[in-house]
């Protein structure tokens, strides 16, 4: 597996993965959005045998970084790809001087919540009907302790 920064050559594969992972009512990213984020934010991909298996997107143009999206193709699940992508992004954020990372996650996404807690995130509050389909979300945060990452991995 290769973890690397996304490139414009990845746009088509990112869009195919996004369609697999997110229904239209759950805010999938467009080709133009991915192109923007490649230039302006942290967008890493995981490649397995030449295929794009997953990605992580972190918005960094603010005081606190925001984990915007993390997705792994169903064909590549249970290989710790999400964990590796997230750890790479969190280490990069620490190197860039960020002290806090925020995210929203569906309250019914138990696997993601477990991963985020394992990586040191804690729930701040519940956001009612956050998603278009009416699902609630948890607002979660990770604070870097003494400029180190305290992941339980």
pLDDT digit string (tens) for the chain, length 153 residues: 999 999 999 999 999 999 999 887 777 899 999 999 999 999 999 999 999 999 999 999 778 899 999 999 999 999 999 999 999 999 999 999 999 999 999 999 999 999 999 999 999 999 999 988 889 999 999 998 776 666 555
State the Cα–Cα distance between residues 15 and 32, nearest whole angstrom: 10
Q: Among the CATH numbers 3.40.50.360, 3.40.50.720, 3.40.718.10, 3.40.630.30, which is that of 2-143?
A: 3.40.630.30
Residue of 122, 124, 67 whose CA lies nearest to 90: 67
Its pTM stands at: 0.91
- 90's tokens: 């969190």
Closest by CA to 94, choosing from 139, 60, 117, 43, is 60
8 Å CB contact between 83 and 48: no
């Amino acid at each position: 597996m290769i973890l690397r920064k996304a490139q414009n050559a990845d746009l088509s594969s990112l869009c195919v993965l996004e369609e697999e992972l997110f229904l239209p009512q759950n805010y999938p990213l467009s080709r133009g959005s991915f192109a923007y984020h490649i230039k302006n934010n942290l967008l890493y991909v995981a490649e397995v045998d030449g295929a794009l298996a997953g990605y992580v997107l972190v918005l960094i143009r603010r005081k606190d970084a925001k984990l915007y999206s993390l997705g792994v193709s169903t064909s590549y699940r249970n290989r710790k790809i999400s964990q590796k992508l997230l750890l790479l992004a969190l280490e990069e954020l620490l190197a860039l001087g960020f002290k806090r990372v925020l995210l929203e996650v569906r309250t019914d996404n138990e696997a993601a919540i477990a991963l985020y807690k394992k990586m040191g995130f804690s729930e701040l509050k519940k956001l009612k009907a956050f998603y278009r389909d009416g699902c609630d979300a948890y607002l979660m945060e990770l604070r870097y302790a003494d400029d180190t990452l305290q992941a339980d991995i």
